[in-house]
Amino acid sequence: MTRTAIIAGAGRLPAAVAGVLDRPMVCALDGFAPEGVAVDVAFRVERLVPLFRALEDAGVTTVTFAGAVQRPRLDPALFDAATAQLVPRLLAAMAQGDDATLRAVIALFEEAGFSVAGTAQIAPGLVPGAGVLCGAVSDRDRDDATRAAAIVAALGAVDVGQGCVVAQGLCLAVEALPGTDAMLAGVAGLPVALRSLGTRGLFYKAPKPGQDMRVDLPTLGPDTVARVAEAGLGGIVWQAGGVICLDLPEMTRAASDAGLFLWAR
């Protein structure tokens, strides 16, 4: 019998993925414990090969990545002999950015004999297809979404971020290392003169161009809806099939109550 392991980070996504799997093995990166699900194994990058052996011993054949992590600081004293041989490869990837690091990690798991599956494959209900889920989308919103998609594609091409805020064709903010919440808080604090654009604007989210869709998909949730409402925006738009939505029913309810639209574009 095959078994799937969740390589987990922080947040609620690992629990949501675990909920659709039979007896998943939850392996959490040290310092990034997930919410709402028990961790079977805590591991460090410095001991990656022993993790591979533990997965194999547990009958795992497939792994999926879920949850938020930051690039860990490596401790040379903790490397085992086998993992130490991977260090030059890992460091070279880390020097090229997050996308290169993730591709290198995926390759290591595949070379160890594991199949890597994305969230959309394991839990398709978390990755909505195209459609307006609530609210009304105007022609102005459609133009803003087109502009925002071009901006996010440009950001992603240089591995900067996966989101931005656009109002009446003008970019009010882009997502960078501090993340979505920091960006939206910045928009909420903008001077009135910058916000008096004749339209409420929107928040847009999408994967990076050429991104491996099995890992690091952008994630939205009810908290995102609350932050967008606080920022005074009109709605949320995301690339259909490329963004994870945690608790979509609650997102829809909260957006409707706040007078926002939700659009998988």
- Provide the percentage of residues in the chain whose pLDDT is more than 90: 76
- pTM for the whole structure: 0.87
What pLDDT shows up at residue 155?
Answer: 93
Is residue 219 within 8 A of residue 13, CB to CB? The reply is yes
Predicted local distance difference test score (pLDDT) of residue 4? 97
Domains of the chain: 3-122 (3.40.50.20), 127-264 (3.40.140.80)
Look at 11-15, 45-49, 58-62, 93-97 and tell me which has the smallest mean pLDDT. 93-97
For 196-218, give one letter per residue: b (16+ CB within 10 A) or e.
eeebbbbbbbbbbeebbebbbbb
Tell me the pLDDT band of 49, cut-offs 50, 70 and 90: very high
Does residue 58 surpass a pLDDT of 60? Answer: yes
